């Protein structure tokens, strides 16, 4: 089958584009090398919706961040994704650098932020709204439109919504080679994509492959780009520490990005990180002792008394840093019908709705597709029974007893939610898939309690033998087989 558009990569950019394009009568599919959406850069980042004052004025980053931020309320409401504008404080700890805060304000204005959405605070004013700021903090830049979101759910929701509107998703499908078919002069350009799961043909390609976007770009273009995986490590703290700060607290920006932040997450945990370390390995999501020590030390410069004993996990993510430090979005000059969506590092998550919109408009112009009459732009998330009243909850359990059985005690996730996560469009296929959709295993015991129980549900629902149940697809099998494998057999 010939697709109209193939999107490579099911991260938040690829899925935002897929959802936007699903408005049209087009044959679209998404190719993803991992077993699920949200397995790369979108999986491990600060989960912040940036206000838009940080990026260089006039850059794609600045434009799309500001637009993405504006769009986020509506998209979060439409897709039932938790999002809250908690505000951000960029704190200054050096009296000589206080002028830098004004620069942020001025850049915010230049980038199109409303003047009343920003404020420069002196130490007392900052402490009044954020009491745990470090003793060295001398002032702060306050960006009121900054927010926190669940990146997993945003990505998953966009993908689900695209899928119900007709976009195909192929997982475990790694792209190996992209080439243009030989066409007669003036004939239609067709791209051939060879994957580990066979060949796909398409009129247009969107390259939203995160840290691999340079690889695919360079397959078709003589104007090479280079993406450096820029690793950032994080520590996630228990919910009991979630109120330590109420705003996202940034350090004043430096050369390597926005510095280490301390923020509540939308789910009530406390998150600290990231540092920035350029590496070569595009799969190098390991943490190191040095990087963890670095973020712990740097976080403490801006926020005091962080209860580090409440750490429940640490992780690292890779930013797709392109040498030019801007988003590269558009048709590749020497490769017609090949649309790059590369270099999507921070503020990529914040920009994602705008990236989707931008690429949609671009393709709309080129392809002149017909709009669908029956496009559905909304999606319901997995019901969180904690949001119900006592009576409503009982009614739910009467109708579906699975909502009466707790599987993850730390996050209070019921079997009903896990079943929903597995059965819905593009449902979970692994422990991590369930975790990203329901938070089962995300709590303070880090799946010690629920993993055997979740495995049993995956086994039952998907008909998978235990040996084939994985943590996150591929070879990440959780058990190697049964005990007593030779019982009853004569050897």
Partner 1 sequence: MIQKRDLTCIGCPMGCQITVEFEGEEIKSVTGNNCKIGDRYARKEVIHPERTVTSTVAVTGGDKERCSVKTRGNIPKDMIFECMDEINRVCIPAPVKIGDVIIPDVCGTGIDVVATRNIHKV
Partner 2 sequence: METNEMMSYDIVIVGGGPAGLAAAIAARKSGTERILILERDKELGGILNQCIHNGFGLHTFKEELTGPEYADRFIQQVYEMGIEYRLDTMVMDISADKVVTAMNRSDGMFRIRAGAVILAMGCRERPRGALNIPGYRPAGIYSAGTAQRLVNIEGYMPGREVVILGSGDIGLIMARRMTLEGATVKVVAELMPYSGGLKRNIVQCLDDFDIPLKLSHTVVDIEGKDRVKAVTIARVGKDMKPIPGTEERYTCDTLLLSTGLIPENELSAGCGVEMNPVTKGPFVNEIMETNIPGVFACGNVLHVHDLVDYVSEEAGKAGEAAARYVQSGCTEASRERAPIRLTATGGVRYTVPSTIHTDRMDDLLTVRFRVGAVYRQAYVSVYFDDERVQHQKKKIMAPGEMEQIILQKKKLLEKPDLHTITIKIEEDDASDAIKSSSDGKAISSANETSGAADGAAHRQTM
CA–centroid distance for 46 within its chain: 9
Kindly tell me which residue out of 180, 194, 253, 315 binds partner 2, with binding defined by CB under 8 A.
315
Rounded to an integer, what distance in angstroms lies between the CA atom of residue 345 and that of residue 319?
5
Nearest-approach distance from CB 459 to partner 1, in angstroms: 12
Inter-residue contact 68 to 350 (CB < 8 Å): yes
Q: Cβ closer to partner 2: 207 or 291?
A: 291
Rounded to an integer, what distance in angstroms lies between the CA atom of residue 351 and that of residue 208?
14
Nearest-approach distance from CB 411 to partner 1, in angstroms: 27
Residue 288 binds which of partner 2, partner 1, none (CB < 5-8 A, kind-dependent):
partner 2
Q: Cβ closer to partner 1: 116 or 489?
A: 489
Give the pairing of strands 198-207 and 191-195.
antiparallel
Inter-residue contact 75 to 81 (CB < 8 Å): yes
Inter-residue contact 249 to 130 (CB < 8 Å): yes
- Map the footprint of partner 2 across residues 146-185, applying CB under 8 A: none
Rounded to an integer, what distance in angstroms lies between the CA atom of residue 118 and that of residue 51?
9
Residue 488 binds which of partner 2, partner 1, none (CB < 5-8 A, kind-dependent):
partner 1
Kindly tell me which residue out of 412, 461, 462, 464 binds partner 2, with binding defined by CB under 8 A.
412
Site string for partner 1, 448-487 (x = CB under 8 A): -----------------------------------xx-xx
Inter-residue contact 418 to 458 (CB < 8 Å): no
Rounded to an integer, what distance in angstroms lies between the CA atom of residue 167 and that of residue 17?
11
Residue 404 binds which of partner 2, partner 1, none (CB < 5-8 A, kind-dependent):
partner 2
Q: Give yes or no: 50 in active site.
A: yes
361 burial type by CB count under 10 A (0-12 exposed, 13-18 middle, 19+ buried): exposed
Nearest-approach distance from CB 429 to partner 1, in angstroms: 24
Site string for partner 2, 228-267 (x = CB under 8 A): -------xx-------------------------------
Inter-residue contact 29 to 6 (CB < 8 Å): yes
**Is the bond into 219 cis (omega within 30 degrees of 0)?**
no
Q: Cβ closer to partner 1: 374 or 483?
A: 483
Nearest-approach distance from CB 476 to partner 2, in angstroms: 4
Nearest-approach distance from CB 266 to partner 2, in angstroms: 19
Nearest-approach distance from CB 487 to partner 1, in angstroms: 4
Nearest-approach distance from CB 345 to partner 1, in angstroms: 49
Q: What's the token pair of residue 158?
A: 């966009």
Q: Cβ closer to partner 1: 96 or 489?
A: 489
- Map the footprint of partner 1 across residues 22-51, applying CB under 8 A: none
Q: Cβ closer to partner 2: 372 or 393?
A: 393
Rounded to an integer, what distance in angstroms lies between the CA atom of residue 330 and that of residue 340?
5
Residue 489 binds which of partner 2, partner 1, none (CB < 5-8 A, kind-dependent):
partner 1
Torsion sign over Cα 44, 48, 49, 54: negative
# binding residues, partner 1 (CB under 8 A): 8
Residue 412 binds which of partner 1, partner 2, none (CB < 5-8 A, kind-dependent):
partner 2
Q: Cβ closer to partner 1: 255 or 486?
A: 486
- Map the footprint of partner 2 across residues 425-484, applying CB under 8 A: 444-449, 451-452, 456, 466, 470-484
Nearest-approach distance from CB 418 to partner 1, in angstroms: 22
H/E element, 193? strand 191-195
Which one is catalytic: 50, 217, 247, 267? 50
- Map the footprint of partner 2 across residues 66-125, applying CB under 8 A: none
Q: What's the token pair of residue 211?
A: 């840290």
CA distances from 332 to 15, 67, 256 (A): 20, 23, 27
Site string for partner 2, 260-289 (x = CB under 8 A): -----------------------x-xxxxx
Q: Cβ closer to partner 2: 378 or 476?
A: 476
Q: Cβ atoms within 10 A of the Cβ of 192, count?
A: 14
Give the pairing of strands 335-342 and 328-332.
antiparallel
**Residue that has been written with the tokens 């009243």 in this structure:** 389
Residue 254 binds which of partner 2, partner 1, none (CB < 5-8 A, kind-dependent):
none
103 burial type by CB count under 10 A (0-12 exposed, 13-18 middle, 19+ buried): middle
Rounded to an integer, what distance in angstroms lies between the CA atom of residue 450 and that of residue 155?
24
Q: Cβ closer to partner 1: 391 or 491?
A: 491
Q: Which of 105, 123, 124, 125 is nearest to 115 (CA)?
A: 105
Q: Cβ closer to partner 1: 309 or 484?
A: 484
Nearest-approach distance from CB 162 to partner 1, in angstroms: 41
H/E element, 453? helix 451-462
**Residue that has been written with the tokens 């993803």 in this structure:** 32
- 470: DSSP letter: B
Residue ranges in contact with partner 1 by CB under 8 A: 483-484, 486-491
| Positions marked catalytic | 50
Which positions touch partner 2 (CB under 8 A)? 235-236, 283, 285-289, 291-292, 308-315, 390-391, 393-394, 397-398, 401-402, 404-406, 409, 412, 444-449, 451-452, 456, 466, 470-484
């Amino acid at each position: 089958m010939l697709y109209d558009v193939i999107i490579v990569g099911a991260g938040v950019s690829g899925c935002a584009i897929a959802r936007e394009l699903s408005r049209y009568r087009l044959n679209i599919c998404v190719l993803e090398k991992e077993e699920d959406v949200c397995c790369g850069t979108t999986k491990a980042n600060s989960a912040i919706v940036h206000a838009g004052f940080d990026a260089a004025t006039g850059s794609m980053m600045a434009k799309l961040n500001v637009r993405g931020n504006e769009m986020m309320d509506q998209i979060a409401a439409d897709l039932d994704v938790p999002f809250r504008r908690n505000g951000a404080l960029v704190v200054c700890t050096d009296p000589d650098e206080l002028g830098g805060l004004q620069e942020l304000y001025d850049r915010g204005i230049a980038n199109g932020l409303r003047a009343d959405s920003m404020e420069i605070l002196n130490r007392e004013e900052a402490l009044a709204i954020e009491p745990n700021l470090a003793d060295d903090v001398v002032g702060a830049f306050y960006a009121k439109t900054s927010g926190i979101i669940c990146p997993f759910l945003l990505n998953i929701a966009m993908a689900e919504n695209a899928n119900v509107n007709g976009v195909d998703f192929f997982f475990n499908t790694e792209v190996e080679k992209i080439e243009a078919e030989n066409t007669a002069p003036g004939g239609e350009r067709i791209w051939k994509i060879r994957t580990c799961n066979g060949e796909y043909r398409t009129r247009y390609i969107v390259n939203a492959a995160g840290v691999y976007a340079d690889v695919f770009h360079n397959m078709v273009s003589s104007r090479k780009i280079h993406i450096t995986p820029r690793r950032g490590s994080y520590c996630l703290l228990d919910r009991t520490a979630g109120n330590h700060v109420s705003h996202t607290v940034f350090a004043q920006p430096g050369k390597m990005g926005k510095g280490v932040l301390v923020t509540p997450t939308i789910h009530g945990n406390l998150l600290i990180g990231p540092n920035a370390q350029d590496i070569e390995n595009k799969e190098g999501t390991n943490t190191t002792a040095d990087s963890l020590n670095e973020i712990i030390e740097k976080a403490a410069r801006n926020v005091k008394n962080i209860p580090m004993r409440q750490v429940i996990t640490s992780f690292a993510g890779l930013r797709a840093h392109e040498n030019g430090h801007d988003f590269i979005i558009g048709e590749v000059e020497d490769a017609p019908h090949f649309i790059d969506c590369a270099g999507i590092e921070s503020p990529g998550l914040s920009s994602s709705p705008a990236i989707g919109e931008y690429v949609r408009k671009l393709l709309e112009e080129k392809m002149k597709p017909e709009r669908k009459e029956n496009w559905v732009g909304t999606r319901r998330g997995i019901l969180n029974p904690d949001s119900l009243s006592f009576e409503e909850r009982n009614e739910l359990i009467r109708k579906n007893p699975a909502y009466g059985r707790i599987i993850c005690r730390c996050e209070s996730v019921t079997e009903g939610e896990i079943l929903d996560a597995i059965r819905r469009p593009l449902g979970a296929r692994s422990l991590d898939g369930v975790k990203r959709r329901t938070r089962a295993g995300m709590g303070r015991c880090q799946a010690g309690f629920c993993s055997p129980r979740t495995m049993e549900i995956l086994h039952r629902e998907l008909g998978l033998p235990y040996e084939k149940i994985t943590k996150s697809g591929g070879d990440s099998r959780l058990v190697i087989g049964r005990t007593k494998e030779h019982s009853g057999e004569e050897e």
